[in-house]
Amino acid sequence: MLFDMPCGKWDINNHLMHPTAMTHSKTVLHNMPVTSLKEADLVELLYQGKSGPLTVANDMLQSYNAGCQALGQEPVFMIKEIPESVEDAVTQWNIPDSIAELDLDVYFAQKVNSVEEAIRVAEELALYRERKMEPMLRFMIYLVNVMQENNIVWGVGRGSSVSSFLLYLVGLHSINSVKYNLDIKEFIR
């Protein structure tokens, strides 16, 4: 089980755990080591306002959730199911339901300004769907939203991704591939 503490940023360097017991924050597969935490460590993290992904033994998390219920409080730690394989992880994006259920046709139709752009959007959406890349598009929408909300600066664009007009409309890069006549096939091969 993976759980998150949604109470701010978690700085691994300030965590009280032994470094070899920490999980790698970019790895979300079942072979992740279980973090050695005591109840006092969890309470200390909450007091310090730290958060981040941790892998813990299921019985410890169940005990914590039961304690919260007994006290009439909502648990702060949320259980996240970990994908069984890399293939499963690719299809399971950790994004809000509002983005996961977003109608991409409507989203992009609201962003076009000309017939030429509408045609390009339709062509690119067909290519993304053919390659089952719609979840990636939704994640990019979520990523850009999070970066904008948190005033995170990102570049104007790099590599073949700038040939995707959809990624331009999402705001991932600043290169209008319709204006510069960039072929989407440079990005989707």
Note the pLDDT tens digit of each residue in 24-36: 333 334 444 445 5
DSSP letter string, 26-93: T--STTSPPP---HHHHHHHHHHT----EE--HHHHHHHHHHHHHTT---SSEEEPPPSSHHHHHH--
Which H or E run contains 127?
A: helix 115-130
- pLDDT, position 5: 38
Residue 110 has pLDDT above 90, yes or no: yes
- pLDDT, position 169: 97
Note the pLDDT tens digit of each residue in 34-82: 455 566 666 676 666 665 555 566 677 777 778 778 888 777 666 666 6
In which band, very low, low, confident or very high, does the pLDDT at 1 lie, cut at 50, 70 and 90? very low
- pLDDT, position 125: 95
Note the pLDDT tens digit of each residue in 125-173: 999 999 888 988 999 999 999 999 989 998 888 888 899 999 999 999 9
Alpha-carbon span 149 to 146, nearest angstrom: 5
What is the mean predicted confidence (pLDDT) over 105-109?
Answer: 95
Read off the pTM.
0.57
Residue 14 has pLDDT above 50, yes or no: no
